[in-house]
Structure 1
C-alpha cells in the first residue's frame, strides 16, 4: 500500500476517535482518559521488559570462554 494513504487512514481513525470522545459524557470521558493512561503505562512497562530481556540475552552471548589448545601431537 501507499505510505501516504496509510498515514492518512491512521490520521482519519485518530480524528474519528477524538470526535467520539468529545461527545461522550464528562464522567465517561474522564474514565476513558484514565484507562488510556493506565494502558499506556502498561505498554511502556511491557516494552521495557522486552528490551531488558533482549539486552540480557545479547550480554549472555558475549561471554568469552578460554580455550586451551594442545599442539604437542
Structure 2
C-alpha cells in the first residue's frame, strides 16, 4: 500500500515493513502489532492518516502523530 506521504507499506509473515525515503521501518508483535502475520490486502489508510493493519490475531492501528524513534541504546540493568 502507498500512503499519503508516499511511503510503501508491505505486509509480511513477520509484521509490516515500511519503506520511506532512505528509511526502512519494521513493525511486528515485539513493538506493538497485535500479530505478526499480515496478509495481502490487509492494509489501508484512513482519511485521518492512520493506517489500519489487519493481522491474523486482530486489527492494529498505526497513529503517525505518535511515532517516535529512540536515538540511543536503552540502559541495561544487570
Decide which structure has greater helix share: 1
Task: Pick the structure with greater CA Rg.
Answer: 1
Q: Structure 1 length as normaliser, TM-score?
A: 0.24
Q: What's the TM-score, normalizing by structure 2?
A: 0.23
Could you say which structure has the higher strand fraction?
Answer: 2
